[in-house]
Structure 1
Amino acid sequence: MKKLSLLLLLSVFVFCGCSDDDDDVRNEIVINFDNQLPQSESELKTEEGVKETPTDYYYKWNFKDPNNLVEFTHYYSEMGFGGGFTYTNKTDITTPGFNNISAITAKGKNGKVYFTSNSNSFTPAQVTNLNPDKYEFKGAWITNTTYAYLAIKEGNDGSTPSRVKQFSNGDWFKITAVGYQTNGTEIGRVDFYLADYRDGKTKIVNTWEWFDWSYIEDAAYIQFELNSTDNSEYEGVSYMNTPSYFCLDAITLIED
């Protein structure tokens, strides 16, 4: 009788444990801009930006997703997109150079529209969570731009002579998502290799791959840093030759 009672107790415990796990399913929100560009081969255009100082080259403007869940930095000049984030449906996977902002996939992860970014100290790419009490960052899908892909694979950045080298054994191109609190305190970093020629590998990302941000899910905002083994130096200052461009799609938030 005691053994039977113990078995019944254990059965109830296991059943309740499974039930609790099922109740822990949290809703996800995927950021989508597919309805924002009705014309093909187009990109975000605006004249709403301002120059933070009269000597600045770029106008700066922040834009939000259609549901006002996240906000993105955007820099542009009379010549076009300069940095931060833009969204586009361009499909050119053959033309080298910075004027080509197409993803090497020629499309988004699930639709036609995706984000292209150029992130550096002058035009930092930042995505801000506008509802941190309700949502956390989960991650996004990531791939290379055509510009960066051809620079790495063929040593062709569209300039004459080219300023980049074709990757060889030991080279790599890495993006780091850096999470920050509202007051600017860093809470963590997550790396992803957009190209990896270490240890005999010859991988350049040319499909959409998942970039997991769960380690920095509590960030109020995320900035992106890019580093490469292809660097040069001018007057004692080191700079990266590999184009500091990448593409994101389906940025995903999860309920807090």
Structure 2
Amino acid sequence: MKNFKLLWLLAAACSLTFASCNKDNDGPDTSTTVTFESATLPDAGYINNTSYTEQGVTFNNVYDVQGQYMSAGFAVSKLHDKNTVGSDNQYSVYNDGGAGGSTNFAVCYFAEYLTNTSGVNDAYFAFGAGIEKKMLSVMVCNSTYVTLAVRDGKDGYMDQTQFGADDWLKVTFTGYNASGVKTNVVDYYLADYRNGKSFVCTSWTNVDLSALGIVNKVVVSMSSSDSGDWGMNTPSYVCIDNLKFDLPDVAQ
């Protein structure tokens, strides 16, 4: 009888613990997602000459007024031309639109040849001064410009960018807290031909950014095995969508 009573008490305790855990898991979702859907785009299908802010996150844009082109940062786009080769099609995603069947997305251009120690030409997104959030994830996909260059060797110029054995293209997300201290980095291979692979990211893919921790700013950079004295030969573009973040954990 004593053993039965003890087992009953243990079962009841486990049941209460399970219920408590479920309650915690079913708590309110405090996360926020940037979808770029609030942007009203012109007939051209993209905006490449100004920074963009949504849900308290600003995506920087460095625009050359004299040359009338985006020299670094982010453009918001809805273009998805999967056939036109070269930089004239630099704002198209190699997909049918934004992530999850949406319309808009962002195109990030990493200007390696312009980036300097002051970070003036960095591509980044950031919260307001002193504001920090917990990074969760982002969806990424290659642009058409990149896909046709690395997969088919067609970039509109020398047509010598086709990937072969051991080639790779990588995007790197680097987090910084409100004091400007680096928190961590997250890498994702947008194309990977190492070890017999022939992968090119042409579907919207979720990248876990939680390793960045609590950040005020995230810098986006790119690197490629196909690089020379002047930097990357591979076009340095990546499309992003559905950036997700949360409130920082509250100390107990």
TM-score class, shorter-chain normalisation, is: 0.7 to 0.9
Report what 2:135 is aligned to: 137
Measured in 1, the distance between the counterparts of 2:51 and 2:34 equals 16
Which residue does 1:243 correspond to in 2? 235
Aligned counterpart for 1:118 among listed residues 103, 106, 109: 109
- Aligned partner of 1:107 in structure 2 is 97
1:1-256 to 2 correspondences below 5 Å: 1-22=1-22, 23-24=24-25, 25=27, 26-37=29-40, 39=42, 41-44=44-47, 46=49, 62-65=51-54, 67=55, 69-77=56-64, 78-100=67-89, 101-110=91-100, 111-121=102-112, 122=115, 123-130=121-128, 135-159=133-157, 161-162=158-159, 164-234=160-230, 239-256=231-248
1:10 partner SS? helix
Structure 1 Cα separation of the partners of residues 124 and 2 of structure 2: 62
Identity of aligned residues (%): 26
* Residue 150 of structure 1: how far off its partner (Å): 1.1
Measured in 2, the distance between the counterparts of 1:134 and 1:13 equals 38
Q: Which moved more, 1:174-183 or 1:91-100?
A: 91-100
How far residue 7 of structure 1 moved from its aligned partner, in angstroms, is 1.6
Alpha-carbon offset, residue 115 of structure 1: 0.5
Does structure 2 retain, via aligned residues, the 8 Å contact 1:63–1:72? yes
1:205-225 Cα distance to aligned partner (Å, 9 max, x none) = 101000110111312211112
User: Partners in 2 of 1:17 and 1:131 — Cα distance?
Assistant: 41
Taking the aligned partners of 1:185 and 1:133, their CA distance within structure 2 comes to 14
CA distance in 2, matches of 1:62, 1:188: 25
- State how far apart, in whole Å, the 2-side matches of 1:179 and 1:15 are: 41
Structure 1: tracts of 5 or more residues without a match? 47-60
Q: How many residues align?
A: 234
Give the superposition deviation at 1:168: 0.8
Q: Contact 1:37–1:113 (CA<8 Å) still a contact in 2? A: no
SS, match of residue 46 in structure 2: coil
Distance 1:118 1:45 in 2: 10
- Within 2, Cα distance between the matches of 1:116 and 1:127? 12
RMSD value, Cα: 2.2
* Structure 1 CA distance for aligned equivalents of residues 217 and 8 of structure 2: 49
Structure 2 contact 83–144 (Cα < 8 Å) conserved: yes
Q: Deviations over 1:68-93 (max 9, x none)?
A: x2111111224233321111111211
Q: In structure 2, what is the Cα distance between the partners aligned to 1:82 and 1:13?
A: 61
1:205 and 1:45 map into 2 onto residues whose CA distance is: 23
Using the size of structure 2 for normalisation, the TM-score is 0.84
Residues 169-193 of structure 1 deviation map (CA, whole Å, 9 limit, x = unaligned): 1111111111111222111111101
Q: Equivalents in 1 of 2:244, 2:128: separation in Å?
A: 13
Higher mean Cα deviation, 164-173 or 26-35?
26-35
